[in-house]
Amino acid sequence: MCADLVDVINVGATVVTVAILAVGIFRALKLRRAFVNGVYRSRATWSAFLMLVIMILMLTNFINFPSSGILSLIGAAPVLALIFTVFAYSDRSVLVAIETDFFHRNTLGWLRVRWPATIVIIVFVIVVLVSSAIPNLTVEEQSWANNIGSLFFFAIAAIIAYAAAALIVGARRSSDRTLRMSILLLGLALSTLALSLIVTSFLNEGTLPYVIVNKGTGVVGIYLIYRSVMALSPIGKIERDAVTPAPS
């Protein structure tokens, strides 16, 4: 009965999130065409790409990939792409928030932290790719790989949480009201991702509590990303109306 409930929650949450993502990608691309301002076009483009990567990850969760060997890299690719995309988009958003801050304050020291964080993420990706590609690890080697993976897992969770905090603080300092709301919603979305990573690390994967936390925070986070895109809608309408000639 519990296993059936887990499957129902998994499938139901996936259907809801994929639907939100599909609508979000369509709206983001539509807004991108309407924007003239480069910053807004960039945000719409990054939003669409981020939601596309999340959608691919959601769908590949239903495919069983090998746990080691070359083919395992296919299963790891969407996760690694999501980490890169989330960090890159967050970094770009914090920089935009700093640019639109009247005093150009270095939000939570982000300009000093962004490059070390980038190095940590790159090293994490290399470790995952190398450990996944090596077949037939010994028990000791597998234990080392698991320990290193756990260390980087918490490092990635800390980076995402830090980026979320920088986005929320930076959004409050931005002088652009539309960007302020969009960046704030993205920061809240990342907060749910960081919360999910931290809480689920103490739960057994596949159990009912794990699925409830993972899928629940996932749906909330994806909806917040969608709202972050939609926060740009008024600007898209204004710019579209501005470049569309009035009927004679």
Three-state SS letters, 114-140: HHHHHHHHHHHHHHHHHHHHCCCCCHH
* pLDDT over threshold 80, residue 127: no
CA distance 44 to 231: 11
Residue 200 lies in a domain: yes
CA dist., res. 98 & res. 209, Å (int): 39
Reference 145, options 128, 157, 125; nearest CA is 128
Range of the domain at 129: 2-243
The amino acid present at 120, given as its one-letter code, is: V
Q: With respect to residue 248, please indicate whether it lies within any of the assigned structural domains.
A: no
* Confidence bin at 168 (pLDDT 50/70/90): very high
- Report the range out of 25-34, 183-192, 203-212 with the highest average pLDDT: 183-192
What pLDDT, on the 0 to 100 scale, is given for residue 138? Answer: 65
Contact 48, 29 (CB under 8 A): yes
Query: Which pLDDT band holds residue 58 (cuts at 50, 70, 90)?
Result: confident
Residue with tokens 């935009």: 96
Q: Are the beta carbons of 174 and 97 closer than 8 angstroms? A: yes
Tell me the CB-side half-sphere exposure of residue 56, using CA atoms within 13 A.
16
Please choose, from the candidates 213, 199, 195, the residue with its C-alpha nearest in 3D space to the C-alpha of residue 6.
213
Q: Are 163 and 94 in contact (CB under 8 A)?
A: yes
Closest CA to 129 of 89, 82, 88, 75: 75
Q: For 221-242, what is the mean pLDDT?
A: 72
For 174, the 3-state DSSP assignment is strand
Domain count, the chain: 1
Confidence of residue 113 (pLDDT cuts 50, 70, 90): very high
For residue range 2-50, list pLDDT tens digits in order.
Answer: 667 777 888 888 888 999 999 999 999 988 888 877 888 888 899 999 9
Name the residue with higher pLDDT: 129 or 245.
Answer: 129
CATH number for the domain harbouring residue 91? 1.20.1070
- Which of the four pLDDT bands, split at 50, 70 and 90, describes residue 226? very high
Higher pLDDT residue, 110 or 123?
A: 110
Residue 96 included in any domain: yes
Q: At residue 170, does pLDDT exceed 70?
A: yes
The answer to whether residue 148 is domain-embedded is yes
For residues 93-110, average pLDDT: 92
Please list, in sequence order, all residues whose beta carbon lies within 8 angstroms of the beta carbon of residue 149, skipping any fewer than 6 positions away. 127, 128, 131
**Confidence at residue 62, expressed as pLDDT on a 0 to 100 scale:** 73
pLDDT in tens, 148-157: 767 777 888 8
Give the percent of the chain with pLDDT over 70. 83
**How far apart are alpha carbons 88 and 92 in whole angstroms?**
6
Over 70: is that where the pLDDT of 238 sits? no
Note the pTM of the prediction, 2 decimals.
Answer: 0.84
